[in-house]
Amino acid sequence: MTVKARAKENQSIVDYLLGLSSDIEQSQIETRYFRDQSFYEDVLLHEDELICDYLSNELPLNERRRFEQHFLQSPHRRKKLQSTRKLMAYLADQVGEGQFITTSKRSPQATASSDGWFDYLSGLLVPKFSFGRMLAATALLLVCGFGLTTYIAGLRQNLRQSEGERLALQQQEQELRGTTLRQQAEAAAKRDEAASLSELVASGANSLSASMERPTPTPAIKLTLATARSANSPADIKLPRAAQTIPLAVALDGQAPEASRYVIKLRATEMNSPTWQWEATAQNGQVLLDIPAAGIAPGLYSLTLARVVSATQTNEFAGEIFLRMSRP
């Protein structure tokens, strides 16, 4: 068994095929394997050379072990090994049955020294096969070469198809990832919207509950519009210290329609004083008012009521009451 001397690049390909290269070298070779057509063909050529060297017992011991442990793990390579072994056996059989044209015979020393079919074939370079057997061997080699070329072309086409499918799957994965992110963003927005709506509903329910549970204020004072009052005889109202409103009931004229709307205005009799205005509905012949205590200072105030007749007509004046606000 002889050890072959290989170039550095060839040795790196052999190491890759035997699983002896590092992860970085393996990645570099595989990248170049798919992009460089000539390099791809070099790799296939080295596969064939390794198989021939293995069958002719020319591989070093360490490479022979890696060949059996790693290289032959591929079903494709095992099939190629079997085909090559059959071809070499056939050629060896043809050489063994060949007849010499000359009457010279091989010496016993030459016959005993043949080691493998390569050495035996080289010993027959001077003698000649019969023309028919040489033609059959040549035809067999052509057929095998054509089949191998077709097989390699099919493998190359399958690799390209697999690469295209891989790129298509990557694109689909990116599209699915983008769709998932958009759906997550929409779901988050809907959750936020639902939370805001829940808070709004809860706030409205609390406000409604508070308004329903709040008792009707007891009027602090009851007045009537039937009694004419002036600034000289106002109604005295004590301003509460902690209350936010001042409940007030104003009795209406008996001829006023029930459930009439009234516009109420409250202003101090001093010059340039602010005016408070709001609306209330008459119930049971009186108007219940909640005068806001905020901003009301002790002093003389005028309270006027006007019934809302219609949207196109002027409100009907109902009466005026003077109030004197004071602290208790």
pLDDT confidence tier of residue 281, bands split at 50, 70 and 90: confident
| String of DSSP letters for 129-176 | --HHHHHHHHHHHHHHHHHHHHHHHHHHHHHHHHHHHHHHHHHHHHHH
Confidence at residue 19, expressed as pLDDT on a 0 to 100 scale: 92
Res 251 pLDDT > 80: yes
Could you tell me which residue, 75 or 152, shows the higher pLDDT?
Answer: 75
State the residue for tokens 């090994």: 81
> What is the average pLDDT across 55-80?
92
Which of 165-174, 222-231, 279-288, 298-307 is least confident?
Answer: 222-231
* Residue 153 exposed, middle or buried by CB count within 10 Å (0-12, 13-18, 19+): exposed
Query: Is 248 within 8 Å of 292 (Cβ atoms)?
Result: no
- pLDDT > 70: what percent of the chain? 72
Res 7 pLDDT > 80: no
pTM for the model: 0.33
Residue 81 to residue 85: CA distance in whole angstroms:
6
> In one letter, which amino acid is 141?
L
Closest CA to 287 of 197, 224, 208: 224
Could you tell me which residue, 278 or 66, shows the higher pLDDT?
Answer: 66
Confidence at residue 232, expressed as pLDDT on a 0 to 100 scale: 75
Neighbours of 211 (CB within 10 A): 8
SS3 assignment, position 180: helix
> What is the average pLDDT across 243-266?
79
State the residue for tokens 């091989």: 106
State the residue for tokens 């006007």: 306
Res 171 pLDDT > 70: yes
Residue 220 to residue 214: CA distance in whole angstroms:
17
Query: Is 308 within 8 Å of 321 (Cβ atoms)?
Result: no
Could you tell me which residue, 106 or 174, shows the higher pLDDT?
Answer: 174
Res 305 pLDDT > 90: no
Give 247's strand partners. 290
Could you tell me which residue, 168 or 243, shows the higher pLDDT?
Answer: 168
- pLDDT > 90: what percent of the chain? 17
Query: Is 55 within 8 Å of 84 (Cβ atoms)?
Result: yes
Confidence at residue 325, expressed as pLDDT on a 0 to 100 scale: 86
Which of 109-118, 206-215, 260-269 is least confident?
Answer: 109-118
Exposure on the CB side of residue 236, measured as CA atoms within 13 A: 4
Could you tell me which residue, 45 or 285, shows the higher pLDDT?
Answer: 45
| H helix count then E strand count, the chain | 8, 8
Round the average pLDDT of the chain to a whole number and report it. 76
What region, left, alpha or beta, does residue 285 occupy, with left being phi > 0 and alpha being psi -120 to 50 degrees? left
State the residue for tokens 């958009």: 182
Confidence at residue 254, expressed as pLDDT on a 0 to 100 scale: 64
Residue 152 to residue 144: CA distance in whole angstroms:
12
> What is the average pLDDT across 13-37?
90
Could you tell me which residue, 246 or 104, shows the higher pLDDT?
Answer: 246
**CA gyration radius, the chain:** 56
* Helix boundaries (H) for 5-74: 8-17, 23-35, 37-55, 61-69
Backbone angles phi, psi at 25, to 5 degrees: -65, -40
Out of 43-47, 155-159, 195-199, the most confident range is: 43-47
pLDDT confidence tier of residue 292, bands split at 50, 70 and 90: confident
Could you tell me which residue, 21 or 150, shows the higher pLDDT?
Answer: 21
pLDDT digits (tens, 9 = 90+) for 117-156: 455 444 444 344 444 455 556 766 776 676 677 778 888 8
> What is the average pLDDT across 68-81?
92
Confidence at residue 295, expressed as pLDDT on a 0 to 100 scale: 74
Confidence at residue 197, expressed as pLDDT on a 0 to 100 scale: 76
> In one letter, which amino acid is 146?
F
What region, left, alpha or beta, does residue 26 occupy, with left being phi > 0 and alpha being psi -120 to 50 degrees? alpha
Backbone angles phi, psi at 14, to 5 degrees: -65, -40
State the residue for tokens 């409100």: 315
